[in-house]
A and B are shown apart, each in its own frame.
Chain A
Amino acid sequence: MDDLDDLFAQARAGAMQPSDDLTRRVLADAERLQPKPTAFAPRVTVRQSEGFWAGLSRFFGGGFSLAGIGSAAVLGLFFGFVQPSALMSMTTGMTGADTLDTLELMPGVDALLTEE
């Protein structure tokens, strides 16, 4: 039926258009439901200024570590100054020297350092 094709053509030309109010409602829905962009701001942690001992303690891994290191240092100084006889006999036996004024920890390096 050619008349039907004519009718279709007329109907296509006279299609229902959305009202301005509908368009506004749809855009309002779009704005309301639009996912908000995620902000990738750097994470800033504010740390209060700490004292010398607190910083030192944190650097060495805590109070117990710092106490251990301090104790070892004091004990080393003590042995250096007092030089107990029992310890001296042991070091003499190990190094072959009477006194422990100098100790070569890397004797093999001397050959490299010696100038011809």
Chain B
Amino acid sequence: MPRDSLAEIADDTLLVLYANGDRDAARLLTHRLLPRLVSFAGRMLGDRAEAEDVAQDVMLRLWQMAPDWRQGDAKVSTWAYRVASNLCTDRLRARVRRRTSALDEVAEPEDGAASALAGLIEADRMAALEAALAQLPERQREAVVLRHLEGLTNPEIAEILQIGVEAVESLTARGKRALSAALSGQRAALGYEEAEANG
């Protein structure tokens, strides 16, 4: 099918076309989904190589299940975010396990989160945000990233995280409060106080 006529087609229809042998459908689906998956996984994991691995894994699973995809069951993007979310969670938990086993052999520092933020005095704002996001509990981080950085709606996030909309609202609100608290001590380092003084 010509690519121009594919541009208006919904993701799930593209997936069916892909399953029926349409190569342009695969290219267009990749163009639509891959940047969002890399962005989301990148914010969750803070590491490009890992984010790309997760994104590739999600796309691989998408191609594999394309013949069995039932139209109307769920949005393809929602499904992809959910799989990416699970894969990121697995990797984050593996990191915690590795860190825990490593710290067992070394004296544990007091208040790791605070010291991590304190080390970001010279870091730029994005690095500070990433560091602050990394301190959030997994679910809060997922909700904040999906809502405020990926621009998804609360019902979409509820479907991805498989929780209620009210729970999403609660997670994002708590996540934002925690981010504000974590970043409030960094205002000078982030240049906000200087900007206000000049303004």
Contact = CB atoms under 8 A, between A and B. Distances in A.
Interface of A: 1, 3-4, 7-8, 10-12, 14-19, 22-23, 25-27, 29-31, 33-37
A35 B30 contact: no
Contacts, number: 99
B183 A36 contact: no
Contacts of B183: 1, 3-4, 7
Contact of B18 (A4, A7, A14, A30): A30
B125 A1 contact: no
Contacts of A36: 21
B77 interface: no
Nearest to B181: A1
Nearest to B129: A7
In the complex, which range does the number of interface residues on chain B fall in? 35 or more
A36 B19 CA distance: 8
A3 B26 contact: no
Contact of B39 (A1, A3, A16, A19): A16
Interface in B1-59: 18-21, 23, 26-27, 29-30, 34-35, 38-39, 42-43, 48, 51-52, 55-56, 59
